[in-house]
A and B are shown apart, each in its own frame.
Chain A
Amino acid sequence: MERVESGNWASRLRRFVRATEEEHCEFCSKTIDSRHAHLVERATRKFFCACPQCAFLLGGGERFAALRARADALHDFDLSDDEWEGLRIPIDLAFVFRSTPAQGPVAIYPGPAGAIESPFAADGWSRLIAANPMLAHLDPDVEALLVNRMNGAREYYLVSIDRCYALIGLIRKHWRGLSGGAEVWEAVRDYLTNLQDDVETKDAVHG
């Protein structure tokens, strides 16, 4: 008779199918729902899964910020081509967000090393906020302005920082050579299409 490798098959099958459901709060170890809150450690930018209680207690504190999934299109964004040139970002795709550890605005954009991060000129940021007051409410460390001016586009979004890191990861994965290669730009296009779909779906839901 052929023997099953380990006789506790029923126990293992049960644990196997439960593997997805068993997620735990990284602060108190309580079992949490598959749709749970995330906290971002401001200094390290690490993400942590949290139960509602820990997310409430720690989110918005000095060390952690609560992440709220967000993707909103900014329709009447005011930024002229000259002003954009003046911000000295070498590429037409960038994230800008307020960073607590950097004590000011930071820009992240694609580059040969994956993604380049640089301090964003404080006066440039002030002018941007003056022209676009909604930027004043950006939650530090967890919300970003996404600028897409590639191939003549003039698109602006308010997105949660996870989308920013997703794009960085994507660029790191697909960038080839000095200019990135066709693959990376195709991946970026897919990313932007997805973002637009999410914005539209949300707009449809909220009427």
Chain B
Amino acid sequence: MSGEARESETLEQSLARLEKLMATLESIADATGRETARELLALVIDLHARSLARLSAIIAASDDGVALLEKIVEDRDLRAILLLHGLHPQSVEDRLQGVIARMQPQWSARGLHVSLMSTSKAFAMVQLQRNGVAEPTDQLRLEIENALTDAAPDLDDILIELDMTTLYAETAA
């Protein structure tokens, strides 16, 4: 196992554990304990957000700051934390377009075409065209959603819309 794989595994495992712990905390009947833990977590996150925002500002204002930030977000762990605090130097739209551009050759080879329709603070809408692809729609949706949410875990949801014209064409055929 390479060092990089171990590193990525750690982030995934941490996030999986984070999900589990949030669910556990949510199910605690003792309201005082639950809300205290939540407040503590919020405070720690806010403290980090404040400092990281200043740190990012200092980096961005320095010579070669932009290049340095680009290098920083190449690191998965650092990228995750910057995304959490809304400090990723790229906008949601740029990040999603980046994933689509990177994946498009692979998707095109399978007869898929993905395009970004719109983005807002909480949602993004993506259109999927499938030219006679036989794979089940749900599976395709999941695959695309996974690829895109990795780049934008700060969105509430990514909606994947099927281009109906091709679907109609298929049904008619």
Contact present for A8 and B12 (CB under 8 Å): no
Given contacts A4-B19, A18-B42, contact A10 B12 (CB under 8 A): no
Q: Does A20 touch B at the CB level, under 8 Å? A: yes
Contact present for A13 and B9 (CB under 8 Å): no
Q: Which residues of chain A have C-beta atoms less than 8 A from B39's C-beta?
A: 20
> In which size bucket is the chain B interface?
20 to 34
Contact present for A16 and B16 (CB under 8 Å): no
Which stretch (B131-139, B145-153, B162-170) binds chain A?
B145-153
Enumerate B30-53 residues with CB–CB distance to A below 8 Å. 35, 38-39, 41-42, 45
List the A residue with the shortest CB-CB distance to B46.
Answer: A17
Q: Does A11 touch B at the CB level, under 8 Å? A: yes
Contact present for A8 and B83 (CB under 8 Å): no
B-side interface mostly: helix
What number of A residues sit within 8 Å (CB to CB) of B?
A: 21
Contact present for B154 and A11 (CB under 8 Å): yes
Enumerate A1-22 residues with CB–CB distance to B below 8 Å. 1-21
Contact of B15 (CB < 8 Å), options: A9, A11, A20, A21 = A9
Contact present for A17 and B155 (CB under 8 Å): no
Contact present for B122 and A1 (CB under 8 Å): no
The minimal Cβ–Cβ distance linking B38 to chain A, given in whole angstroms, is 5
Q: Measured between alpha carbons, how far is A3 from B80 in the docked complex, in Å?
A: 15
12 interchain pairs, CB-CB under 8 A: A1-B8, A1-B9, A2-B12, A5-B16, A5-B19, A7-B148, A8-B149, A8-B153, A8-B158, A9-B153, A10-B84, A19-B38
